[in-house]
Amino acid sequence: MRTTLNLDRELLEEAKTALRAASFTEAIETALREVVARARAREGWAELMGSDLSWGSAEELVEYRRRFGARAP
């Protein structure tokens, strides 16, 4: 999609460098993908926190997955 935007040039240059992007378009697309991925991760985490899972620690979860794998309910 082609569009016109008013962007802070210094911020765009910094983002391009930070993301090691070859172009401004690549920097913007990469940044947008990262924002969407973070939002999806937050949503997933919120769903997990609201679920009835009862593992006391990450280690317990890993052990459960080792024992039961994909057969887990």
Q: Is residue 52 part of a domain?
A: yes
Q: Does residue 48 have a pLDDT over 80?
A: no
Domain presence at residue 33: yes
Of 38, 19, 14, which is closest to residue 29 (Cα–Cα)? 19
> How high is the pLDDT of residue 50?
72
Q: Is 4 a member of any domain?
A: no
34-to-4, 19, 62 alpha-carbon distances in Å: 22, 11, 27
What integer pLDDT is reported at residue 9 of this predicted model? 97
Domain with 59, as residue range(s), is 9-71
21/27 Cα distance (integer angstroms):
5
Q: What is the pLDDT of residues 2-19, one digit of tens each?
A: 999 999 999 999 999 999
Tokens for 26?
């690549």
- Compute CA 24 distance to the chain's CA centroid, rounded to the nearest angstrom: 21
Q: Is residue 54 part of a domain?
A: yes
Q: What is the mean pLDDT of residues 51-66?
A: 78
pLDDT score recorded for residue 4: 94
Q: What's the rounded Cα separation, in Å, for the pair 73 and 34?
A: 31
User: Considering its fold, how many domains does the chain have in total?
Assistant: 1
High-pLDDT (> 90) share of the chain, %: 53
